[in-house]
Amino acid sequence: MLNDTLVTSSGIIKNRSKARVGVVNASSLYGDLFQDCLNDGIDLSWESLIKETTDRLALNFLGLDEFELSDMVDSELQDYDLDSHVFLLGAWVKDYHGGYMIDESGKNGSYALEYNTETGIVCVNWSLKTTKCNNTSPCYVMADGSGPCADLDSKGDTVIGYTLPSDMFNERD
């Protein structure tokens, strides 16, 4: 059992024995991650662009029905390409407000990750698997104020982090 609080150069780490978000560089993961996100993931960047475009067109063209508006959005975004994406992959489900939440029952997957293609960082927000590792720098901190996240690229025993199945990682030394 880990001592529950630790003071480090990255800050105070509270609740070390409670699993926290695992952070890993996408280059440490299998090569088809991006393709899997495109095929099976949720593209938050694209969804945001569709919503912004729909809202703008709805204001500019009052009186359009839902199908006309949808056709205009499709036409406007037909050749649009995003430079970067934020994907959700795994056990994410829509909530009642149209946002996304993690289904921790395991019915929709054994992990829930976010992949930011601009930074190349993957955050494992939840998983059935955990691992001991070092903590991240203060750049990645837990939203609950418990300190830095878990650095899945760094072996150690400072914190416990959510991790991915071993076959999702490139072979390690």
The values of phi and psi at residue 37, to 5°, are -65, -40
Q: Is the pLDDT of residue 173 over 60?
A: no
- Residue 117: beta bridge partners? none
Annotate 18-63 with DSSP letters as a single string.
Answer: S-B-EEEEGGGB-TTHHHHHHHHSEEHHHHHHHHHHHHHHHHHSTT
pLDDT at 172: 59
Residue 49 lies in a domain: no
Residue 133 lies in a domain: yes
Report the predicted TM-score, pTM, of the whole model to 2 decimal places: 0.87
What average pLDDT is seen over the chain? 91
CB 21, CB 150: distance < 8 Å: yes
More confident residue, 87 or 62: 87
The closest alpha carbon to 37, from 152, 114, 123, belongs to: 114
Residue 27 lies in a domain: yes
The total of structural domains in the chain comes to: 1
What percent of the chain has pLDDT above 70? 97
What percent of the chain has pLDDT above 90? 69
Structure tokens at 5: 């609080």
Residue 163 lies in a domain: yes
CB 161, CB 152: distance < 8 Å: yes
Residue 15 lies in a domain: yes
Q: Is the pLDDT of residue 56 over 60?
A: yes
pLDDT at 147: 83
Residue 63 lies in a domain: no
Among the residue ranges 30-44, 123-137, 143-157, the one predicted with the least confidence is 143-157
CB burial of 58-89 (b: ≥16 within 10 Å; e: otherwise) equals eeeeeeeeeeebeebbeeeeeeeeeeebbbbb
Residue 1 lies in a domain: no
Q: State which residues form the domain around 30.
A: 6-44+85-168
Residue 157 lies in a domain: yes
Q: Are strands 42-43 and 86-90 parallel, antiparallel or unpaired?
A: antiparallel
